[in-house]
Structure 1
Amino acid sequence: MPATVNRAGRFRPFHELARLWKTSSLRTQLVVMTTGLMLLAVIVTAALTASLFRQELVRQIDDDLHANRNNVSVYLTSLGTDTGYFSSPQSILRFYGELQDNHGNTTTNSSFTGANEDRPVVPSLTADEVLERGNEAFDVSGTTEASRGWRVTMYRLASGEGSLAIALPLEPVHDSVDRVTSLVVTIGLLATAGASVIAYAVTTRAFKPLLRVERTAAQIAAGDLSRRVEMGAPDTEVGRLSRSLNAMLAHIETAFRSKEQSEERMRRFIQDASHELRTPLVTIRGFSELYRHGGISDPDDVGAAMGRIEGEAKRMGQLVEDLLTLARLDEQRPLEHRPVDLMLLAHDAVLDARVNAPDREISLEGLDGGRAGSAPTLGDEGKIRQVVTNLVTNALRYSPAGTPLEIAVGTVDVLPGSVHADGRQVHGSRDCVIEIRDHGPGIDEQDASRVFERFYRADSSRQRETGGTGLGLAIVAAIVAQHDGTVRLDQTPGGGATMSVRMPWVDPSADEDDQTPDEAGTEVQGGQEDTSAGPPVIPPRPPQAPGSGHSSTSG
């Protein structure tokens, strides 16, 4: 490992330690911090123990000096001369004593035998200076280099003729303090070592859930988004972290799945659009090359070929128009919401359908089979009309010729707080409903869930005899969604398919209050007539010309 050096090439240990600390694991940092705190506690404990123990021993020495001052004073006074260290009695042989006159001159003292023995360096104090000290004990040095000091206290003699200095060596105190300190430090270091081992084991066990989280995250990073973190105790930090990670992973998995589904739909859309556009282009190109190479010379054949080219061009143009419509709907452009009555649109759709399919029995009725009623809503009339037209055209195209078709319209009550079949929350108390009911073969449940997808056809062979582009119902679903409505496919009782569109109902009286007196009662939207008296009268069916057949419009 390269050492950290400064620009002058010198080793920088603190920077190296800081780098090692930052790169170490959290478990290592916790153990090191625990060990450091334990060592600090040992040092503080040893220092406090040594200090308190020394204070106690010194206090005992001070008490001993105070208790034996009279004995030492009497003994020294009776000697009158320097007789060496006390030979009698044995209780005062431990003390060093010294008599000084009032001027601080030593008159008598006790001494050790031998010239190299240690003795205290007692200060020379006058009588007044001794009184100022107040008999307080103090430390002094010894006369030898190996001396560890003495404890001295000085008193005024009762006779007033001088003062007494009495002392004890501090070496026993220091020896006792050293032994106790060594014992405390040794025990503290052993305790620190044991605590470090225990801390390492505990942190290793405590970090096992985090290691599992790490392994799970690595598996997720490798692409397995279905993996989840094992939940621990919910009230712990690891438990809360696991719960949050699992919630985040669920959102990520959902987002990735939605992204994949969106990309798959986009690829499918591009493939289908290319497929749908390629077919008319191949037809146009084939007839053009056939005509250019002289393969068509008869005027009737040329006319038929031009008719096929024109038909394919129209179908391709219709496909492009549908694609542009879907693109504009995907942009979510704001709509012009104005009052629209679905009954009037249904009435117009019945008239148009009778013209396009004169062989069909096409009727307008209410949702319950009775007379159709007004169904006022708000929206873009042109787009809602396109919805109805696409649904009617789709029903005529995919149901057998000669079968009846009903267009039912009306309003239904809904419960507050309920939801539609697609899960959308119901906000109002009523819905406007328009249904297109055919009596054909119907649609399988598997196909019914996908009929509103773009380019989807229930016919898996993708035959185009019906002339559709596969975008009509996708456009219907997009327009209805923009109007906060829903569209669904149900089975018609007795056989067939029913397309049901629900849109929010609005109170027509509120719209009438906003109109001027000249406008009220004359027009609802885009030239729609007043329906207060009931639905418009549908004229009788025109007679069918001999030989007329089914005419379909592209949707």
Structure 2
Amino acid sequence: MALLNAVSRAWRRTSLRTQLVTITSGLLLLTLVVTTFVSASLFRQELERNMDSELASNAQTLANYFYALRDDLPSDEEDSGPTYAELQAISRFYGWLLDDEGQPIPNLNLRTANSETADVPQIPRLTPQEASEIRYQAFEVPGTQPNSRGFRMMAVDLQHQEETVVIALPLDNLETSVERASFLVATIGLLATLGASVMAYSLVTRAFRPLLQVEKTAAAIAEGDFSQRVRTSSPPETEIGRLAAALNTMLEHIEEAFAEKAASEEKMRRFIQDASHELRTPLVTIRGFSELYRQGGLGENPEVVGTAMGRIESEATRLGQLVEDMLTLARLDEQRALENKPLDLNIIAHETVMDMTVNAPDREVKVIGLAGGSPAPAPVMGDEGRIRQIVTNLVTNALRYTPEGTPIELAVGTDSLVEGKQESVLEVRDHGEGIEPEDAQKIFERFYRADNSRQRETGGTGLGLAICAAIAAQHGGSVRHSETPGGGATMTLRLPLDQEAAAADEEHEVDLTEEELEQFRSAALGSRE
């Protein structure tokens, strides 16, 4: 058992190439052994068949020879004695003439003169009746010497006499021929197996060359080089080709995953750095005014104290808004389930305008159609609170980053960028300074601010547009920037159209009229005065 375990361990430690060549060589050797054994057996049977044929064809000639020696050939066979050629032919046989009791008749034998020293067949005692039962059936008998290889013998009963002729040939030549043939087959087979093993090792090494490339690629990947790919000349429909394709696909996925991980980590680092900076700015202001007040630096002037307290309050408000925006982004990153229900962007746009008439009564904010006419229904399925947050953020940005008195339009309707795919669209168009092209590509990044009028003094956190883009993406839509004709910026919200509501052709009524909105605006302006 210990030996078997040691062999098993050694076998498992060998390379796959060595195992394949060893198994192939073992199968070849097994085939050689079987082939040699079968060939030797068939060759021996053929030689025995030839020997039996010779024994049968010379039995009567040997009988005639014995009759000639006894000089009592039957009357009808007086002229049938063996010729000289026949005598020459039977001289290599061993033979006896047996009487009716199976005993050798004295002096009627062939090649038995030196039976005491020479190897001769051991004569079976066969009566003519017993010989007739095995007529022309050869059998093997041992020799008289210890190293004898035996004899092939045949007994034939004679029809005209109550006698039996026994004829035999030694098996030395037959056994020697079989041994030589077996040796030749085995030798040639061994040489062929050796050559085949060498060729198999070379072919397997060549066939395993792509696997060696796979091994090198894997080693390079283990060292951190994920750009490596398995290159092979094998056709893609072969096993090696399919393996290389599968590995390359897997490597692409791994490289993409690591790249995404690295990008995510870098993004997180930037986010933490930006968040730390954004949080530190209001905290420094709050701390500075608090320490100044505590140390008595503000004096007893109520105006100065009120100004300081106002700054503390405004920075605390900004800090709270920043924290709230960061929490909103964190929740969006978690991909929490949305509370979807049927909505209409047209209604949301009108309600937003109503809010703006109260919050910014000095601004002209109105709802129009995408082409400039009347607004059209824009049904969607979504989370009402989240979608309202998008519209509010976009309108708030338009108010915050444009000069006072400039108008703002909310264009609503349906549109199709891809043939056969309708979308509900809400555009927030301002007529301010617009956004520089280099800034427009980054405004949806977290904590990004443009360098012109969009500074911290406006009160923004730099997260509003990032929140809008994240919410839209969660609804299967998008928020994009474009230039407003004549100057300004247009923020376009696109969401998948609610097909059921659109098919029902429902028109949601907007309760507020222009007169009512004007009344809200006038009341708000009057309260401010």
Q: TM-score, normalised by structure 2?
A: 0.88
Moved more, 180-189 or 458-467: 458-467
Q: Which amino acid aligns with 2:126?
A: L
Alignment of 1:2-17 (within 5 A): 6=2, 12=3, 14-17=4-7
Indicate the residue corresponding to 2:220 in structure 1: 219
Residue pair 2:350, 2:510 contacting (<8 A) in 1 also: no
CA shift for structure 1 position 498: 0.6
Give the C-alpha shift of residue 383 in structure 1.
2.5
Change in CA separation of 1:461 and 1:76 when aligned onto 2, cut-off 3 Å: farther
Query: Which of 244, 247, 250 is equivalent to 1:248?
Result: 250
1:46 alignment partner, one of 36, 39, 46 = 36
- Cα distance change, pair 274–461 in 1 and its aligned pair in 2 (3 A): farther
Deviates more, 1:487-496 or 1:368-377: 368-377
1:155 counterpart residue number: 156
Q: Which residue of 2 aligns with 1:309?
A: 312
Select which of 285, 291, 294 maps to 2:293: 291
C-alpha distance in structure 2 between counterparts of 1:509 and 1:362, whole Å: 27
Name the counterpart of 1:199: 200
Gaps of 5+ in 1: 7-11, 82-86, 418-425, 514-520, 525-529, 550-555
Contact 1:359 1:544 (C-alpha < 8 Å) held by counterparts: no
Q: 1:272 to 1:414 in 2, by over 3 A?
A: closer
Shift of residue 230 of structure 1?
0.6
Question: Structure 2 CA distance, aligned partners of 1:225 and 1:29?
Answer: 32
Percent identity between the aligned chains? 55
Q: 1:121-200 residue pairs with structure 2 within 5 A?
A: 121-200=122-201
Cα distance, 1:36–1:505 mapped onto 2, change above 3 Å: closer
Aligned residue number for residue 110 of structure 2: 110
Which 4+ stretches in 1 moved above 6 angstroms?
509-513, 532-536, 543-546
Greater per-residue helix proportion: 2
1:303-323 deviations in Å (ceiling 9; x for gaps): 211111111111111112222
1:145 and 1:535 map into 2 onto residues whose CA distance is: 135
Could you tell me whether the CA contact under 8 Å between 2:401 and 2:458 is conserved in 1? yes
Which of 97, 100, 103 is the equivalent residue of 1:99? Answer: 97
Does 1:542 find its partner at 2:522? yes
Q: Distance in 1 between matches of 2:38 and 2:502?
A: 92
Q: Distance in 2 between matches of 1:531 and 1:247?
A: 54
Alpha-carbon distance in structure 2 between the residues aligned to 1:324 and 1:166: 115
Tell me the residue number matched to 1:84. Answer: none
1:339 and 1:511 in contact (8 A); partners too: no
Contact 1:347 1:538 in 2 (8 A): no
Cα deviation 1:510-552 (Å, max 9, x = unaligned): 7899xxxxxxx9xx6xxxxx33999886326539979x89xxx
The C-alpha deviation readout for 1:176-202, integer Å capped at 9, x for no partner, is 112222222221111112112211111
CA contact (8 A) 1:76 1:99 kept: yes
Q: 1 CA distance for matches of 2:369 and 2:433?
A: 23
The C-alpha deviation readout for 1:125-152, integer Å capped at 9, x for no partner, is 2333222223200111100012111000
* Structure 2 Cα separation of the partners of residues 483 and 230 of structure 1: 42
Quick one: which amino acid aligns to residue 162 of structure 2? E
Q: What runs of 5+ residues in structure 2 fail to find an aligned partner? A: 72-83
What is aligned with 1:386? Answer: 389
Q: 1:472 aligns with which of 452, 464, 473?
A: 464
Q: Aligned pair 1:365/2:345, yes or no?
A: no
Residue identity matched to 2:292 = L
The equivalent of 1:483 in structure 2 is 475
Q: CA deviation at 1:170?
A: 0.7
Partner of residue 517, structure 1: none
Contact 2:357 2:524 in 1 (8 A): no
Compared with structure 1, are the counterparts of its residues 120 and 317 closer, same or farther at alpha carbon in structure 2 (3 Å cutoff)?
Answer: same
Q: Give the direction of change, closer, same or farther, for the CA distance of 1:163–1:446 in structure 2 (3 Å limit).
A: farther
Aligned residue runs from structure 1 range 521-536, under 5 A: 530-531=509-510
Question: Is it true that 1:503 corresponds to 2:495 in the alignment?
Answer: yes
Encode CA deviations 1:321-373: one digit per residue, 9 max, x unaligned.
22222233333333333333322322232343344444444332211112223
Distance in 2 between residues matched to 1:254 and 1:411, nearest whole Å: 36
Check whether the contact 1:347–1:536 (CA below 8 A) recurs between aligned residues.
no
> How large is the RMSD of aligned CA atoms in angstroms?
2.9
Q: Name the amino acid aligned to 1:262.
A: S
TM superposition shift of 1:25: 1.2
Match of 2:442 in 1: 450
- One-letter amino acid of the counterpart of residue 66, structure 1: A
Equivalence for 2:10:
20
Q: Which residue of 2 aligns with 1:408?
A: 411
Partners of 1:111 and 1:49 lie apart in 2 by 33
Residues 320, 34 of structure 1: alpha-carbon distance in 2 compared, 3 angstrom cutoff: same
The amino acid of 2:63's aligned partner reads S
Structure 2 letter corresponding to 1:48: V
Structure-2 separation of matches of 1:70 and 1:544: 146
TM-score by length of 1: 0.84
Measured in 2, the distance between the counterparts of 1:141 and 1:110 equals 17
Give the partner amino acid of 1:459. D
For these two proteins, the number of residue pairs brought into alignment is: 508
Contact 2:342 2:379 in 1 (8 A): yes
CA distance in 2, matches of 1:508, 1:461: 41
Deviation at 1:215, TM superposition (A): 0.8
Matched residue SS, 2:481: strand
How far residue 452 of structure 1 moved from its aligned partner, in angstroms, is 2.1
What residue is the counterpart of 1:319 in the other structure? 322
Structure 1 residue 413 displacement after superposition: 4.7
For 1:61, the equivalent position in structure 2 comes to: 51
User: Mean alpha-carbon deviation: is it higher for 313-322 or for 147-156?
Assistant: 313-322
Measured in 2, the distance between the counterparts of 1:150 and 1:112 equals 14
- Quote the Cα distance in structure 2 between the aligned partners of 1:324 and 1:188: 81
Query: Do 2:136 and 2:155's aligned partners in 1 also have CA atoms closer than 8 Å?
Result: yes
Letter of the 2:412 counterpart: V
Tell me the distance in 2 between the aligned counterparts of 1:134 and 1:534: 132
Contact 2:361 2:525 in 1 (8 A): no
Q: Which amino acid aligns with 2:154?
A: T
Of 342, 345, 349, the residue aligned with 2:345 is 342
Q: Which residue of 2 aligns with 1:518?
A: none
Cα distance, 1:323–1:532 mapped onto 2, change above 3 Å:
closer
Contact 2:412 2:425 in 1 (8 A): yes
CA distance in structure 2 between the partners assigned to 1:15 and 1:112 by the alignment:
62
For residues 144 and 261 of structure 1, what CA distance do their matches in structure 2 show?
Answer: 96
**Distance (Å, rounded) in 2 between the aligned partners of 1:508 and 1:136:** 105
Aligned to 1:329: 332
> Which whole-Å CA distance do the structure 2 matches of 1:509 and 1:16 have between them?
77
